[in-house]
A and B are shown apart, each in its own frame.
Chain A
Amino acid sequence: MNKPNSKWKWAGLAAVSGWAGRALEITTKAHRQAPRNPGTRRHHRLGVSGKPREPIGSALGAAMVEMEKARPVWNNPLQFVFACISYAVGLGNVWRFPYLCQMYGGGGFLIPYIIMLVVEGMPLLYLELAVGQRMRQGSIGAWNTISPYLRGVGIASVVVSFFLSMYYNVINAWAFWYLFHSFQDPLPWSSCPLNSNLTSYDEECEKASSTQYFWYRKTLNISPSIEENGGIQWEQALCLILAWLVVYLCILRGTESTGKVVYVTASLPYCVLIIYLVRGLTLHGAINGLAYMFTPKIEQLANPQTWINAATQIFFSLGLGFGSLIAFASYNEPSNNCQKHAIIVSLINSSTSIFASIVTFSIYGFKATFNYENCINKVILLLTNTFDLEDGFLTPGNLEETKDYLASAYPTEYSKIFPDIKNCSLESELDTAVQGTGLSFIVYTEAIKNMEVSQLWSVLYFVMLLMLGIGSMLGNTAAILTPLTDSNTISSRLPKEAISGLVCLISCAIGLVFTMEAGNYWFDIFNDYAATLSLLLIVLVETIAICYVYGLKRFENDLQVMTGCKPNWYWKIIWAFVSPLLIIGLFIFYLTDYILKGTLQYQAWDATQGQLVTRDYPNYALAVIGLLVASSTMCIPLVALGTFIMNRWKKGKTVSV
């Protein structure tokens, strides 16, 4: 045998050609029709020479071959990157970051933001992606592999993801509602409806504004407090069902369909943002908003709140701890360079935040200038009518001196109308910082209704919101479904489509609570409390588990074997020391904040005054908040305790036998 390798090759070919002709036909047909499934990859990986390509330790190699048999993978690494971007870039980039930027120092906020990105965001993202890629299972399976006592971490992730998906899709429902209403001329939120005898506008609408009225009355039909539940709004319920059907359509086939959808959900928002940037910068008064935002107020850097908010924004914006990143990375090929991808995804996420805040602030500037000019015109009209001045005499230019003159010449009449003369100030208009649903559905719509061809801008904007929301929902549902499909007990009984359908159905049914009249108050409860504390705890336990339970050296070796490059000292120091300390600091801050605040309060819409008022939560709402936080955080110690007791019981059984 001169060339043993060539003999092996010939033997292999003989084996293949030795099959019956019909058998050959059937195998090639089967390979063509099956989805890209690593059933075929086994041949590539092992090669015809029969030796594995990489020098993997035998146990790990065997385990990888075993798992490879059934696990779907992304068609190419780009799908994985797009999926992570689509998940991380969500509504928080559009409606939370601009608010933080405005409140905590304008351009100066970028300094703590970038520092936290490098110190906290990138390392933790890399850690989660590496864990997912190495373990090749969803969050429950991955943490179970690291240590059976830590399975609670995975379960806590799934519980938090479940809470999140329940309330997050309601935002998509609202986006659908506004999108469908954008096809009318004029836009329904551009003017107030009339009252019953058609002499003037509806009272609530006059006191508030037309966009606020459309949001609070027509969309939410909100009740005055959380105690008054009201009934389910059928229009919102229909939009919620539609939102869940769209999500189901995207996750139906697992990574195969998700991989194609994320091309759209990741790239479309950027197209819309660029269009809006061009439009926003050309709007009248946009410069005012941009100048206001980007003038750095350096003294805010001394405020600890600035740093804490930068840290929490990076943390929650990347979506760490939900298990979605572990799920996405588990569908990767083991040789994928996740360090590069982690850096790319976190950079893109942060630059999208900054980009979106430029757009938001040019829109703010336009809206503030528009309102300021309206205010000035109202004052001019009031003065012109009271003193019967010639129409068109008063201009914004000579307004001040004319006011002084009138005050001195006709003091009695001037003092009569003085309470109505508002001091119009551009600063105060720009100062109205809004975040959250208020920014998207009230402030933005107010700016859009004043643009030309407002239907087009409205449609574009709500399509973008939908893409961002659906992209994040795909990650959330992946975090829930991956552990379920990984576990053999469930996936052997039900096909993938049925599991996804069940999860969507249950979440939709519970989500109908948010379509009731008091639903927005419950939404705020979930938004503020369902994920914050639990995530910090989960990520803290994750970091400590990898560094100290699994062992940093062992993890480092695994990464080198898997991807070929060793994580350098920077990552190791951050994982082992800096991140845990940082997360503990954030955790302490949140706890002390809750304790010091005393009773928790919420903002309720008062229809008679046309504005928000602060109320206290009733006892059962506080109980729900406690339950939300406890149900996810308690998973970790309870499951550890349960595993410990089971092991003791088993040992006791074997010993006694």
Chain B
Amino acid sequence: MAFSKVLFTLLVFSGYWVRSHRRMVPAQRSAQANLSGAKDAFKVRLSLKTALGDKAYTWNENEEYLFKAMVAFSIRTFSSREKIEISNVLLCNVTKRVSFWFVVTDPSENQTVPAGEVQGAIRMNRNRINNAFILNDQTLEFLEIPATLGPPTEPSTPIWVIIFSVVFCLVIVGIVLLIVSGIRQRRRKSKASTEMTDVEDKCETMVTIENGIPCDTLDSKEGRTNRAFAAGDEKLTPL
């Protein structure tokens, strides 16, 4: 734990040293203007490790060159200042973060390009600048230049209406089928029951009316011998 504290202190102080060292480098005269006024300067912040993980490249002077080129390109296309060169874009205060400040000067007018123009230019070409560094709006931040957020794509008919209509139609079809089949069933039943009641009446007459005695008890299928007439048969002699 003590070791990590020492390492951390070294890192922070090295950051400060790099900054102060840069101050000593005889940069362009207008580097002094970066720090004091910072009127038309913008801070940029990159999060390379967050965006790319193991494939993160190191930030060195070549990357800074590319950045200056992209900014110069943006200013040229946005405000058609044809004379802007890469050397007109000034970077300073580069930290380990990685973050730095930049400002754009216009040699023909011998002053810095106003902040509004720089802002408009960056906004217009933000996508291309991001892609040049394989970063996105969150990992390549221009502080005080809000990114234009892309709205989510909306299809012409909302999807939920389509699915709703499908389910709705299915349910209506189901209801109609059930009602119609129920009506048909009821008609058949009432027809059958009227016929059944006719038959039942017939059956009842067939079954019950036999001198008022139900046929079941009389066992009409097998027949019964009436003993009163049994003797009569024996009297008849065969021919």
Contacts and interface: CB of A to CB of B under 8 A. Distances in A.
Interface string A162-202: 00000000000000110011011010000101100011110
A26 B163 contact: no
B96 A390 contact: yes
Contacts of B45: 385
A391 B48 contact: yes
A20 B198 CA distance: 11
B97 interface: yes
Contacts of B149: 194, 198-201
A242 B203 contact: no
Nearest to B198: A23
Interface string B52-90: 000000000000000000000000000000000000000
A194 B8 contact: no
Interface stretch (B22-30, B110-118, B172-180): B172-180
Contacts of B188: 30, 33
A421 interface: no
A18 B182 contact: no
A1 to B, nearest CB: 9
A390 B168 CA distance: 58
A502 to B, nearest CB: 14
Interface in A8-38: 8, 10-12, 14-15, 18-20, 23, 26-27, 29-30, 33-35
Contact of B146 (A14, A15, A199): A199
Contacts of B196: 23, 26-27, 30
A26 B196 CA distance: 7
Contacts of A249: 171, 174-175, 178
Contacts of A389: 11-12, 96-97
B148 interface: yes
Contacts of B203: 15, 18-19, 23
A186 B152 CA distance: 9
B168 A14 contact: no
Contact of B179 (A7, A33, A198, A497): A497
B15 interface: yes
Contacts, number: 147
Contacts of B174: 249
Contacts of B1: 401
Nearest to A16: B203
Contacts of B209: none
B171 A246 contact: yes
Interface stretch (B31-39, B215-223, B231-239): B215-223
A180 B160 contact: yes
Interface string A274-297: 000000000000000000000000
Given A15-B203, A20-B202, A245-B172, A33 B146 contact: no
A550 interface: no
Nearest to B193: A30
B164 A198 contact: no
B216 A8 contact: yes
Which of A18, A29, A200 is the most central at the interface, judged by chain B CB atoms within 10 Å of its CB?
A: A18
Contacts of B48: 391
Contacts of B206: 18-19
B172 A387 contact: no
A253 B206 CA distance: 38
Contacts of B50: 391-392
A23 B198 CA distance: 9
Interface in B156-199: 159-160, 163-164, 167-168, 171-172, 174-175, 178-179, 182, 185-186, 188-189, 192-193, 195-196, 199
Interface residues of B, number: 57
B154 to A, nearest CB: 10
Given A8-B216, A253-B182, A393 B11 contact: yes
B130 interface: no
A245 B171 CA distance: 7
Interface string A399-417: 0011001000100000000
A433 interface: no
Contacts of A402: 8
Interface in A192-223: 193-194, 198-201
A18 B208 CA distance: 12
A491 interface: no
B171 A390 contact: no
Interface in A430-487: none
B125 interface: no
Given A183-B159, A245-B168, A252-B175, A495 B15 contact: no
B136 interface: no
A181 B160 contact: yes
Contacts of B193: 30
Contacts of A248: 175
A175 to B, nearest CB: 12
A23 B172 CA distance: 39
A26 B11 contact: no
B225 interface: no
Contacts of A409: 9, 12
B105 interface: no
A391 B47 contact: yes
11 contacts: A7-B219, A26-B196, A176-B164, A180-B167, A181-B160, A183-B159, A242-B164, A249-B174, A252-B179, A253-B182, A393-B11
Given A183-B163, A199-B147, 9 more contacts: A11-B215, A18-B207, A30-B196, A34-B192, A248-B175, A249-B171, A391-B49, A393-B11, A401-B5
Interface of A: 7-8, 10-12, 14-15, 18-20, 23, 26-27, 29-30, 33-35, 176-177, 180-181, 183-184, 186, 191, 193-194, 198-201, 238-239, 242, 245-246, 248-249, 252-253, 257, 384-385, 387-393, 398, 401-402, 405, 409, 495, 497
Interface of B: 1, 4-5, 8-9, 11-12, 15, 45-50, 95-99, 146-149, 151-152, 159-160, 163-164, 167-168, 171-172, 174-175, 178-179, 182, 185-186, 188-189, 192-193, 195-196, 199, 202-203, 206-207, 215-217, 219-221
7 tightest A-B contacts by CB? A11-B216, A392-B49, A30-B192, A23-B199, A180-B160, A388-B95, A390-B96
